[in-house]
Amino acid sequence: MNMQVNPFTDEVDWNFDVQSAGLLFGLPDIGDSKVKVFHNDTFIQKVTNTYRFDKEHLKAVLTFLFAENHGDGLLLYGPFGCGKTSFIREVLGRLHWPTLMLSWNETSDTADLIGKTGISFGDTTFDPGPLTLAAKKGHVLVVNEIDRGRAGNLVALNDLLDGGKLVIKETGEVITPHPNFRLVCTANSAGSGDLTGAYTGSVRKLDPAFLDRFAMLEVGYMTLESEMDLMLTQFPEYLEASGHFVERMCKFASETRAKAADAAELLSTPLSTRALVRFFHYGRAMNLVSKITGNAQDLPEIMPVLEFCYLNRLSPEEREVARVALNMTFGN
């Protein structure tokens, strides 16, 4: 007989091996630190072998995860597409720490965290939400973009963040959080709402009392060197075609970020790491690699790919600023 296994009713296997952090995260210069890797094989986040970890960020996150939890959450904040979500996913996946992830938005409410009642064959049932399950089982709950929705609807997290218990009103159940339960959130601002104007209308101010319950880690765009290195690892064929092309595209990306951070500039949407990956990816599919030289004559070839991946999102004025920056980068 083929038995359906429900991982939520199974206990997580918390036995662990101790492994070298340097090897696990591809950072040989992190010293001889060791981390626990759980035997658990349920709810593991998918990892890639191309992810680049920042040593200081990694140390901070590991400290948060492995320190005894006193009811703090961790907030990763920074501009869109810089690698916040993928960072926490890649860390937790390597540690085999069971993880539930969701995105917070305008319509999210408390029931999306705690769970909902329903009817099954005339009986009232309770369908537990990710917070309930994570607290019970010792998963990490990752709530992405908490500044995209109504802050008031996040209050369900407060009781747990205070080191308290989670009371499920619908069932009367009282859940004492598992010692391995952790809460990690991501946001575009440090909770103050929009600082640059880039997220007008979409980023909300977070409640200071809520934020007071978080350790905060700022994640920014990668340095030019790391980003070039990452793109060349993922798309080595561009290097074969031209020694300069990837470097110039990465420089263009960092130029758009500098402009977006500068209130005096018209450009408010930078070319993110996510969009840059997309550019090289579609460039490959659109046969850009066979046409590039790394010089100004590449511009007509670049434009259709860049429009598709980035420029079409911009206003005509912003697009002009980006176009001038691109021309300058390619020496025109």
**82 touching ligand ADP, by CB under 6 A:** yes
Rounded distance between C-alpha atoms, residue 270 and residue 254, angstroms:
8
The rounded Cα 217 to chain-centroid distance in angstroms is 12
Tokens of 28: 């040989």
Q: Which stretch binds ligand ADP (CB under 6 A): 1-9, 74-82, 235-243, 300-308?
A: 74-82
Binding characters for Mg ion, 136-175, by CB under 5 A (x = yes)? --------x-------------------------------
Of 178, 274, 281, 291, which lies in the binding site for ligand ADP, with binding defined by CB under 6 A?
Answer: 274
Q: What angle do CA 87, 95, 24 make, to 5 degrees?
A: 80
**85 touching Mg ion, by CB under 5 A:** yes
List 143's β-bridge partners, or say none: 102, 185
Instruction: Report whether 57 contacts 30 (CB < 8 A).
Output: no
Tokens of 302: 């670049």
Q: Which stretch binds Mg ion (CB under 5 A): 82-90, 188-196, 307-315, 319-327?
A: 82-90
- In this complex, which beta carbon is closest to Mg ion, that of residue 184 or of residue 249? 184
Tokens of 64: 């948060």
The alpha-helical segments, DSSP class H, found in 167-236 are 208-211, 224-234
**103 touching ligand ADP, by CB under 6 A:** no
CB of residue 82 to Mg ion, shortest distance in Å: 9
Binding characters for ligand ADP, 216-235, by CB under 6 A (x = yes)? ------x-------x-----
**86 touching ligand ADP, by CB under 6 A:** yes
The alpha-helical segments, DSSP class H, found in 262-312 are 273-285, 299-309
Distances (CA, A) of 249 to 184, 227, 244, 261: 32, 10, 9, 19
Contact residues: Mg ion, CB under 5 A: 85, 144
Contact residues: ligand ADP, CB under 6 A: 50-52, 80-86, 186, 222, 230, 273-274, 277
